[in-house]
């Protein structure tokens, strides 16, 4: 199976070499790896270029964009820019520049795609360093395919209409894959080192964007409150809950454009409620 990986990279010089070293060391090499240098002011482009000069399956492209950090949208826009430079592929991946893969990452994942024709998305799990140990980055359930290590079958990627440019893109893609009857799978034996731990956001604006994302995914107010409460508990921040709900209400009042159709939204709500009831 032909694999194409796209890595959006903005000022990732601190992590990029270790990341690309882990790709080069794979037992099943990707056919194409595209590093998209998104307006970096550090050595990101230089580091990526050195790898591209040594490995003909690695290429580097540059994108000019605003320096403003736009959660979700900026990274998806950069990924889509890289998508325009791809060759033929069976599996398409969106990976971050601050990860280190185990050497057999793609070998084991390709085996899963070959064994299950309904498999639409697959990944390992992210681990962060605490002291001398690497522990699971517990901001999502272990069956959730995280944003920094997304790998899609082309059929699934096309069916869900690609990635949504905004916060929640890495959740709605899974829900839409389920809607279209694709399986999703995480492999716990594939432990990916996440060199820069993920936060839930550090500003009121970022907190509100989570509520906006839930509105756009068709959650409804009650589901949004439950999801926001869970995130607030994990982040130990009551403000996150308040601002997320406020963000949802603002999006509802403004009738912002949703990521999903009415039919997809109905499926998502039913799927989420089923998941909640299974845990009670």
In a domain, 23, yes or no: yes
pLDDT at residue 11 in the model: 94
Query: Are 127 and 179 within one domain?
Result: yes
Query: Are 54 and 164 within one domain?
Result: yes
Domain that holds residue 141: 3-194
Query: Are 141 and 23 within one domain?
Result: yes
pLDDT at residue 204 in the model: 60
In angstroms, the CA 38 to CA 199 distance is 21
Query: Are 149 and 215 within one domain?
Result: no
Closest CA to 213 of 195, 196, 197, 231: 231
Total tally of structural domains belonging to the chain: 2
Closest CA to 235 of 208, 203, 207, 200: 200
pLDDT at residue 54 in the model: 97
Residue 131 tokens read as 């002291």
In a domain, 199, yes or no: no
Query: Are 171 and 76 within one domain?
Result: yes
Query: Are 98 and 179 within one domain?
Result: yes
**Spatial contact of 113 and 153, defined as CB atoms under 8 Å apart:** yes
pLDDT at residue 6 in the model: 98
- Which residues contact residue 230 at a Cβ distance below 8 angstroms, ignoring those fewer than 6 apart? none
Query: Are 150 and 125 within one domain?
Result: yes
Question: Helix 238-254 to helix 204-216 angle, to the nearest 10 degrees?
Answer: 50
pLDDT at residue 89 in the model: 97
Distance, C-alpha 129 to centroid of its chain: 20
Structure confidence by residue, pLDDT tens digits, 72-110: 899 999 999 999 999 999 999 999 999 999 999 999 999
Q: Please classify residue 183 by burial: count the beta carbons closer than 10 Å to its beta carbon, then call 0-12 exposed, 13-18 middle and 19+ buried.
A: middle
Closest CA to 200 of 225, 229, 165, 222: 229
pLDDT profile of the chain (280 residues), mean per 10: 96 97 98 96 97 98 79 91 96 98 98 97 97 91 94 98 94 97 98 85 71 96 94 87 95 96 96 88
Query: Are 56 and 120 within one domain?
Result: yes
**Spatial contact of 241 and 195, defined as CB atoms under 8 Å apart:** no
Structure confidence by residue, pLDDT tens digits, 126-158: 999 999 999 999 888 899 999 999 999 999 999
């Amino acid at each position: 199976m032909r694999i194409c990986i796209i890595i959006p990279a903005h000022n990732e010089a601190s992590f990029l070499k270790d990341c690309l070293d882990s790709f080069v060391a794979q037992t099943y090499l990707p056919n194409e790896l595209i590093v998209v240098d998104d307006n970096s002011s550090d050595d990101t482009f230089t580091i990526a270029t050195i790898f591209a000069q040594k490995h003909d399956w690695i290429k580097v492209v540059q994108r000019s964009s605003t320096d403003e950090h736009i959660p979700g949208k900026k990274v998806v826009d950069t990924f889509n820019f890289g998508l325009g430079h791809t060759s033929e592929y069976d599996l398409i991946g969106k990976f971050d520049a601050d990860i280190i893969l185990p050497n057999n990452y793609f070998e084991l994942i390709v085996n899963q795609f070959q064994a299950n024709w309904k498999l639409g998305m697959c990944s390992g799990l992210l681990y962060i360093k605490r002291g001398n140990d690497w522990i699971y980055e517990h901001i999502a359930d272990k069956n959730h395919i995280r944003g920094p290590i997304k790998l899609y079958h082309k059929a699934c990627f096309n069916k869900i209409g690609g990635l949504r440019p905004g916060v929640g893109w890495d959740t709605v893609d899974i829900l839409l894959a389920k809607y279209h009857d694709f399986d999703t799978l995480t492999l716990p034996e594939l432990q990916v080192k996440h060199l820069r731990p993920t936060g839930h956001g550090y500003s009121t604006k970022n907190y509100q964007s989570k509520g906006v994302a839930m509105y756009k995914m068709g959650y409804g107010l009650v589901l949004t409150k439950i999801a926001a409460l869970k995130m607030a508990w994990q982040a130990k921040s009551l403000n996150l809950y308040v601002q997320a709900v406020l963000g949802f209400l603002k999006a509802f009042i403004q009738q912002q454009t949703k990521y999903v159709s009415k039919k997809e939204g109905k499926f998502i709500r039913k799927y989420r409620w089923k998941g909640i009831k299974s845990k009670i």
